[in-house]
Amino acid sequence: AWHEAGHAIINVLLEHCHPLYKVTIIPRGQSLGSTMSLPKDDVLNHHKLSLLDTITMTMGGRIAEQLYSGDISSGAAGDIQQATKMAKSMVTQFGMSDKLGMVQYGGSNEYVFLGRDMAQSKDYSEDTAQQIDDEVKRIIGECYHCAETLIKKNSDKLKAIAEALLEYETLDGAQVEEIVKTGKLKKPDNNNKKSDGPTGAKAATSTS
């Protein structure tokens, strides 16, 4: 509940995230919960501010989990993978790094054989590879710091979201926004605890 609450509160607080659709702690497959957002319009291009806010949102789960338990778990593995992939694309494919400029790195899909193994060919130097790694780490580090600051500043609202998830299991975006604005959630008229959520929201593509 705290992990998903961390994603949800960051999603609502940041301007350039896709609008929050639903957050749930109902397990599905190997996932113990999901935070889902939907873009207002078709996504034809990726914008830098949106990518940075999305990476920041993915950091929120680990931070909230650690704030609650004083420990970390492997539950953020998918978040880390997603954030790393986005940050690396920003640097190597989208020209969104001032340090490395508007150059595509590693864009070739050609492969070379090395003995029994097959590796993707690399069209840049080891020094450039190190700079790419440093930039990816910098982007993720700055996003992590931003998420940590927001969560600590809004820890009371984070707790309210987590407690609402424990009570209802599923919240829609409007209910999370209500908690962020007022600090609490009005009890739904149907009082539908431990079901498909207070409003019976439909499923959407998960972002975490």
DSSP string, 102-155: S---S----EEEETTEEEE---S-HHHHHHHHHHHHHHHHHHHHHHHHHHHHTH
- For the chain, the farthest-separated pair of C-alpha atoms sits apart, in whole angstroms, at 67
Q: How many helices (H) and strands (E) does the chain have?
A: 6, 5
> With DSSP H G I counted as helix, E B as strand and the rest as coil, what are the percentages for the chain, rounded to 5?
50, 10, 40
**What is the C-alpha separation between 164 and 145, in angstroms, rounded?**
26
Q: Which tokens go with 28?
A: 């599905």
Three-class secondary structure of residue 35 per DSSP: strand
Residue of 4, 65, 148, 178 marked catalytic: 4
Burial 134-144 (b: 16+ CB within 10 A, else e): ebbeebbeebb
**What is the C-alpha separation between 166 and 170, in angstroms, rounded?**
9
Three-class secondary structure of residue 166 per DSSP: helix
Does 4 participate in catalysis according to the annotation? Answer: yes
Residues catalogued as catalytic: 4
